[in-house]
Structure formats: structure tokens, C-alpha cells
Amino acid sequence: MQTTPTHLIFATNFSETCHAAIPTVAQLVDRLRARLTILHVHAKGKRAQAQQSLDAFFAEASNYPGCERALAGGPAAAGIVSFCRSRDDALLIMPPSERTGLPRPLHVSLRARVLQRVATPMLTLPYADAIPRDGAVGGHVACWITGRETSLESLRDAAALARRRGADLHLLHVVPEISEGLLVDSLFNDKPLSEDAAASWLGDLVQQLPDEDLRVRIHVAVGNPRREIAGLLKRACADVLVVEHDAVVRRGVWRSSLQSALAKTPCVLICLPPPHLRRPILGAGGDHADATPGRRLARRLLRV
């Protein structure tokens, strides 16, 4: 399995948020020594204008070996998904949409539409005024464990990413408030119903990680996950959040959007596809493969 992405796909519509993301993309290309493709999907009949804008966007990228500027036509989400489909070694980078300062009740999130269909890990950035430091060394990597259905592979990806950066790893989990329905459900599953039970369960997950010296912290809250996750991220001082697609996308009757708490977070989000479509992320894909079964772990595990 590949241990680093060799291909970064930067999807752009030439907006201010895309321009603001250029320094971060450049840092990733330099640090990972990855090939860069700048992708734009244009509307019907706009190819000539789109080509001109694409050639002018991030002009310095032309100095990178193997840099490609790709143009596709049609609906934006479909074009991005189609382009990523045959590129197994890629990491998709998508900045947020433009801020308008006004309510947008009919707005459809392009990132949410792509996340629902793409099999490529997506790195999505916060707004320019909240973009964190580069984070090549140190910092705090968080992993949102939404429930027992969360893949152990996601946790391993987050742990490998934290180890490569020399960062602390923070496991986040929200226990729902006790209700009659939850008590009935507990008769048929083993979901933790208290903070102590959740912390114990997360501690058991940590013991399945091969990283001996990784510093791991556990953060548990009680309540509505969509409201509590922002507080947990703040408590963890997270620079990066590793999370699975299903926890990021909020599906509505007429449209899908990103969870508001995650869309507004100053973290860089690394959104992972379902386990059966999983591809490695930022060097987090193959580090646990040579772990010896039964190896004793000597890490500091802290509940916060």
C-alpha cells in the first residue's frame, strides 16, 4: 500500500477562497514532493474563457515538475468525481465556497455533493482568516470517533498522520443524552451510554494502534454530536481533523450540506471515504502494516 499520495488534485473555480488556499497547496506539494494537477470544471460553452482563467491561476505552479492543468466540462461535482475516479494515488483538495454574509437557504454544498460520490480522500480547508499554520511539525491531530461503526482504519490513518508530524493524537467522541429510545437500542448493541464507558472503549481502541510512543488524549462529551463536536475540537486545539464522509455530510430532503460545526471549524478537514473504498492519506496508509501482533504499547494515554 502506498505510504504517501503522489498526486494532489486542486479543484478550483478561481474564487477568493481558492486563491487564499494557494500557499497551503504549495506547502503540501513541496513537503510531499507530489505531482500537482489544477482542475477546473466549466459550464457549457465557457471552455475558451475557462482555459484562459486556468492558465493564469496559480502561475507559479508551472515550475513544479509534471504540473498539469486539467479542464473538464459539465456539472462541477460530476466532473470532479469523474476526474478522480481513475487516480488511485491522489488526494483531492477543495477550498470552501465564497462567503456572502447573507443566508443561503437554497445553497447546495459542492463539497458535500463530491464527498457523497468520490472514493478519493478529500482535504478541505477553512476560510482564509482561519487557515492554521503549516503544521509540518508538531500540533494536534484529532479523529472523530462517531460510534462503533467508525473504521479502525480511520483511527490508524489519523495515528500515522500524527506520528509523521510529531503531533499529539486526540480521539473525540460524543455520547448521546440518555432517552428511552437509546436505552431500548442498548439492548441490541454495545454502544457506551456514559462518559466513563466511552473513555474505556476508546482506550481499548488505542491499544490496537502499533505506534509505541504516540501521545494520545481522549475527549468525551455528552449531548448532541452536531453541537458538541465544536467544543471538543476547541478543547483539543486541533489543527487537523480526520473524519469519515458520513459524519461530515448532512443529508436533507432537498439538498445535502456539510455539518455546520465542521464547515466553520478552523481545522483542516481530511474526509475519508467508506472503508471498502479507502485510499491512503498524507502518508497514513501503510505504516501499521509491519506491526507485530501482541506488541506491548508504551504510550501515554490521557483522558481530558
Q: How many other β-carbons are positioned within 10 Å of the β-carbon of residue 98?
A: 11
Q: Are residues 93 and 182 in the same domain?
A: no
Distance of CA 272 to the CA centre of its chain: 6
Nearest to 267 by CA among 227, 231, 237: 237
Mean pLDDT value across residues 244-254: 77
Domain that holds residue 109: 7-127
Q: H/E element holding 79?
A: helix 76-85
pLDDT for 252 equals: 66
pLDDT at 60 over 90: yes
Q: Does 251 map to a domain?
A: yes
Please state, rounded to an integer, the average pLDDT across all residues of the chain.
79
Amino acid at 13: N
Q: Are residues 146 and 110 in the same domain?
A: no
Query: Model confidence at 82, in pLDDT bands (50, 70, 90)?
Result: very high
Decide which of 244 and 151 is more confident. 244
Q: Are residues 12 and 72 in the same domain?
A: yes
Q: Are residues 122 and 147 in the same domain?
A: no
pLDDT for 293 equals: 30
Tell which of 105, 127, 149 closes a domain. 127
Q: Are residues 147 and 212 in the same domain?
A: yes
Cα dihedral sign, 40-36-139-162: positive
Q: How many other β-carbons are positioned within 10 Å of the β-carbon of residue 18?
A: 24
pLDDT for 270 equals: 92
Q: Are residues 13 and 104 in the same domain?
A: yes
Lowest-pLDDT choice from 132-136, 171-175, 250-254: 132-136
Question: Distance of CA 34 to CAs 194, 199, 286, 297, Å?
Answer: 44, 38, 17, 33
Decide which of 132 and 267 is more confident. 267
Mean pLDDT value across residues 203-220: 89
Tell which of 127, 160, 194 closes a domain. 127
Q: Is 269 helix (H, G, I), strand (E, B) or coil?
A: strand
Lowest-pLDDT choice from 54-58, 64-68, 246-250, 295-299: 295-299
Q: Does 257 map to a domain?
A: yes
Tell which of 127, 154, 173 closes a domain. 127
Lowest-pLDDT choice from 100-114, 174-188, 197-211: 174-188
pLDDT at 295 over 50: no
Mean pLDDT value across residues 75-99: 88
Please, what's the largest Cα pairwise distance for the chain? 62
Number of domains in the chain: 2
Nearest to 155 by CA among 117, 211, 234: 211
Grid look-up 464547515 returns 263
Q: Are residues 111 and 151 in the same domain?
A: no
Amino acid at 272: L
Amino acid at 290: D
Query: Model confidence at 190, in pLDDT bands (50, 70, 90)?
Result: low
Mean pLDDT value across residues 54-73: 95
Reading across the β-sheet that carries 301-303, which strands appear in turn? 68-73, 35-42, 7-11, 90-94, 122-124, 268-272, 240-244, 140-144, 168-175, 216-222, 301-303
Burial class (CB in 10 A: 0-12, 13-18, 19+), 286: middle
Q: Does 217 map to a domain?
A: yes
pLDDT at 103 over 60: no
Decide which of 132 and 223 is more confident. 223
Cite the DSSP H helix spans in 224-280: 225-236, 245-248, 260-263
pLDDT for 251 equals: 74
Query: Model confidence at 206, in pLDDT bands (50, 70, 90)?
Result: very high
pLDDT for 109 equals: 82
Kindly state the DSSP code that residue 22 receives in the 8-state scheme: H
Mean pLDDT value across residues 220-246: 91
Q: Are residues 145 and 209 in the same domain?
A: yes
Angle 207-211-217 (CA atoms, 0-180°, nearest 5)? 65
Mean pLDDT value across residues 90-118: 76
Mean pLDDT value across residues 265-289: 64
Q: Are residues 213 and 265 in the same domain?
A: yes
Q: Are residues 195 and 298 in the same domain?
A: yes
